[in-house]
Each structure stands twice: as C-alpha cells, then as structure tokens.
C-alpha cells in the first residue's frame, strides 16, 4: 500500500530506531528512508527518479514540479551535517543546467553556521529541509508538495534557503511546539494562504534567534520571566539556523503573516555588536523590531564557555540547566542587552 497512512507508519518506525543501534541498522534506515521518500513523491505526483550516477558522481534522485526538475539529496545521520557536505551537493547542482535547484533533506539537521556559510557571497540554488519539515509533510499530513512550495516561495522572495516549519510558543505556564505549516499554496492567486488562523500572528512577541540551543535558552528564560511577573503574554520563538540568515527568515515570517506582533531579534555579537546591529538594520524590511545582542554570545548571559560546551557536545543540555538556575535579577542589573531582552518579554 502506498497511502500516506502507510508511509506515516513506516516513517515512525524509522524515527524510532534507538540512538545506540549499530551501524548496519543505521545504514539500512538510510536506504529505507530513500525508498520511503520515493513513494511519498509518487503520492504527490512529483515524478521522482531514484538515485543515479552521472559522470561518476552520486545523485540521490530528482523531482519534477511545475515544469522544473529539482535534484535531491537525503541524509539520515546521527549528527548535524557540516557546511562541507552542503558544499559538495551545491557543486553537483552548479554543474547542471543553469537554473537547476537542489533540495537537501537532513534528518539530523545542520551544523551551526552551515546555512550562513552556504549563502554568503554565493548564488542561491539549494533549499534545506530537516526532520521538522518531514514531520509536517508526513505526520501532520501536509504532504511534501505543500511543504516544498512554501519553502521555495520563501527562498525566492526572501533568500531564506532554510525557513522553519515550527517554532516554540512560550507562556508563564509552559513551552509548547506550534506549527507554521498551517498554510496552503493557492494556484489561482499564487499566494500562500492560511488554512487556520496563523499562530505566530497571535503571539504578543515574536522572537527570531540563530539556532536551537539559543531557542532553548530563550524559551527557558522567557517562561521564568513571565511566571515571576504573573504575565499572561505569549512569546513565539523561531530559529533561523544562522546569523546572516536571521533578517531573511524574519522578513519571510513578517510578510507571510503581516504580523502585528512586535519582533525581537536575539543574536550573538561575536565581539562586533555594532557590526551585528548594522547587519540587522540593513537586512530587516519592516520597522517594528528591536534587538538584544549578547556579546560575544548568549552563553555569556549564563556564564558558560561556548568553546568548552562545543567540545563536550552538551551545549543544549548544559545551557538549559544554566538558564533554569540563572539569577535573572542580578543579570538584568549588570547587562544592558539582557535588560532589553527582559523588558521586551514583558512588553515594557
């Protein structure tokens, strides 16, 4: 059976493979995933072609959508993929007919700054998908074509080669996942339209940050600040998966939802907070935004050593723990950028 329900069942089985499974099982999952994708594409009438080797190079496959062929690469590894892997795929795409676009699916996500490295000074001809996009397509039933068209539109309009399909909604009581994929592509008008009221527009504050570890810190701190103040405000947090790409993702989100929410950008200063602020000012296309720029990074708010966290491979876990025990009042007094963050959370 090649129904979405059967594909969903098999996808859940693949996702359930234990992290400590042996290499053989993980390689088999990769092959099974490629076959599952092919069936998913057939279901969406995308005329897929399976892997082939032109001139000695490996291409995982291709799709055909609205008169254009898209090259495909799909990986299900244990760790986020580095920029070097994306460069290799981009090289394959660059060598094809002018205007060819590549679709890269990484179920383990992408390394920090990989997206920035791909877009800086280069022609944009790749869009990036991850497990959250595949969850939207399969588990939540959006279908791959719907997800792909939204991603393509945001890449074409804003240069956002990675556009998130979900974010975090933070209140004083809890932090929960909310989907951005409550959208559909209207062939008659050429617009992306809502199938339900869009959740991001309903939040009191929309935050855009660099990566998943930053999002965890921001969500933890925001929940604590709201709870301590007895505030009923809601905060929507989106990750841009890069620093330079933050304005592109923020513009894409703003233009999609025409949001009335104020936007807070939380981005590392990287020892050049003035240059970082200038980059935001030049890139953001709307007026109602503010920025909190921890310097050199958000880990400085937590008194953590970023390089040490990366070496230990526990950046998210240790950052969350530090955010849970941070003396928020003391940090607010000594750090002007955190004070801006605090005031934005409460709408001061």
DSSP 245-275: THHHHHHHHHHHHT--SEEEEE---TT-HHH
Phi then psi for residue 80, to 5 deg, are -55, 145
Tell me which of 100-104, 187-191, 314-318 is least confident: 187-191
- pLDDT above 80 (res 198): no
Helices (H) and strands (E) in the chain, counts: 14, 12
Q: What's the pLDDT score for residue 228?
A: 96
Rounded CA separation 179/197 (Å): 11
pLDDT band of residue 187 (cuts 50, 70, 90) is very low
pLDDT tens-place string over residues 221-230: 999 999 999 9
**Number of domains into which the chain is organized:** 2
> Do residues 176 and 72 share a domain?
no
Q: Is the pTM of this model over 0.85?
A: no
> Do residues 146 and 23 share a domain?
yes
Range of the domain at 233: 169-346
Q: What's the pLDDT score for residue 262?
A: 86
**Which helix H or strand E contains 26, and what residues bound it?**
helix 23-43
> Do residues 250 and 288 share a domain?
yes
Cis previous bond, 296, omega within 30: yes
> Do residues 323 and 203 share a domain?
yes
> Do residues 308 and 233 share a domain?
yes
Instruction: Pick the last residue of a domain from 107, 141, 162.
Output: 162
pLDDT band of residue 311 (cuts 50, 70, 90) is confident
- pLDDT above 80 (res 98): yes
pLDDT band of residue 179 (cuts 50, 70, 90) is low
Query: 189 - beta bridge partners?
Result: none
pLDDT band of residue 90 (cuts 50, 70, 90) is very high
> Do residues 67 and 137 share a domain?
yes
> Do residues 198 and 154 share a domain?
no
């Amino acid at each position: 059976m090649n129904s979405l329900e059967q594909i969903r069942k098999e996808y859940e089985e693949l996702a359930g493979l234990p992290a400590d499974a042996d290499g053989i099982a993980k390689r088999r999952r990769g092959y099974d995933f490629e076959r599952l994708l092919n069936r998913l594409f057939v279901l969406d009438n995308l005329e897929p072609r399976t892997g082939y080797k032109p001139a000695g190079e490996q291409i995982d496959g291709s799709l055909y959508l609205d008169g254009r062929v898209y090259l495909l690469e799909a990986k299900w590894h244990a760790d986020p993929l580095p920029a070097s892997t994306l460069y290799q795929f981009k090289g394959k795409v660059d060598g094809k007919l002018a205007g060819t676009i590549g679709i890269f699916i990484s179920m383990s996500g992408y390394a920090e700054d990989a997206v920035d490295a791909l877009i800086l000074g280069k022609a944009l001809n790749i869009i990036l998908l991850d497990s959250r996009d595949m969850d939207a397509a399969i588990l939540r039933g959006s279908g791959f074509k719907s997800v792909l068209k939204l991603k393509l539109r945001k890449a074409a309009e804003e240069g956002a080669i990675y556009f998130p399909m979900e974010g975090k909604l933070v209140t004083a009581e809890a932090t929960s996942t909310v989907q951005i994929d409550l959208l559909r592509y209207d062939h008659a008008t050429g617009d992306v339209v809502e199938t339900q009221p869009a959740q991001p527009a309903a939040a009191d504050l929309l935050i855009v940050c660099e990566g998943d570890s930053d999002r965890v810190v921001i969500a933890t701190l925001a929940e604590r600040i709201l709870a301590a103040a007895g505030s009923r405000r809601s905060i929507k947090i989106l990750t841009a998966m890069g620093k330079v790409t933050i304005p592109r993702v923020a513009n894409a989100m703003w233009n999609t939802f025409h949001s009335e929410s104020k936007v807070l950008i939380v981005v590392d200063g990287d020892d050049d907070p003035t240059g970082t602020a200038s980059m935001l000012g030049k890139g953001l296309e709307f007026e109602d935004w503010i920025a909190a720029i921890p310097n050199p990074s958000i880990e400085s708010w937590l008194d953590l050593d970023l390089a040490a966290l990366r070496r230990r491979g526990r950046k998210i876990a240790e950052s969350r723990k530090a955010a849970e025990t941070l003396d928020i009042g003391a940090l607010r007094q000594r750090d002007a950028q955190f004070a801006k963050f605090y005031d934005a959370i409460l709408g001061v």
